[in-house]
Amino acid sequence: MKIGIVSDGKYGERAFENICKIFECEWIQLEELSTSIILDDYELNIPDCDLYISYLRHPDQVIALAELEKPVILGVHLGNGLYNQLKEINPNVFEFPSMCSVEPNTNNFEVDVYANFFGRPKYKIEMKDGIVKKIEVLRSSPCGSSRAGQNFLKNKKISPEVLQEFAINVCHECRSPRFGKTCDKELAGLIHLRSLIDSLKVIEDKNNNVFSEFVEKIEKEYNSRILSCFIG
């Protein structure tokens, strides 16, 4: 499967570097244009790909990409109104709260194949006496922040404080561009933290009140962030 990373040059380079390690991938850079300019009858002449990931910021360029009738993942949020318009043009245009929340459950073959490798992080962890001995990233965010968190956790004893520091490390590496939104780096940290918690057997100890309270707090914050992503 061939994936085209379509950008105006501002975002997407790190995703391109990581996705190329798994898939045939092409960097497609368009001219950076002011969003105040209206592009009448704008058409794209770009390499044919099975799936496009768009980091474009001009609405008319994104519309032209959707008109190619290929599956498209939007890596930049440009508003709910435009997204609804794009879905009418091409039902196989997909937008997610962040690029690290993509999962292989869209019923689109190309998007789901991609999401087996990139999207919502998935970890496999080996622990001994509460200490992380080995951690493997089974699915990573396209920007690679999942692996930054992986390196941070090695040989650390799990505690709420360490988990919070893990999320902060992810935030520092996050490249999520969501303009005018609060759900960017913070949301990425929460998504990674929830995925990590799913992998930690110690969290399943219902008698551990400290961890139970921490997990409950994270769930409330995550739900609040997700809700804010879809308002407006």
pLDDT at 179 over 50: no
Domain ranges of the chain: 2-95, 122-229
Q: So what's the pLDDT on residue 92?
A: 98
Beta bridge partners of 170: none
pLDDT at 225 over 90: no
Q: So what's the pLDDT on residue 110?
A: 98
pLDDT at 181 over 50: no
Greater confidence (72 vs 230) lies with 72
Q: So what's the pLDDT on residue 205?
A: 57
What is the model's pTM?
0.87
How far apart (Å, rounded) are the C-alpha atoms in residues 2 and 148?
Answer: 27
DSSP 146-166: HHHHHHHHTT-B--HHHHHHH
Burial 73-93 (b: 16+ CB within 10 A, else e): bbbbbbeeebeeebeebbebb
pLDDT at 47 over 60: yes
Greater confidence (206 vs 135) lies with 135
CB 176 within 8 A of CB 201: no
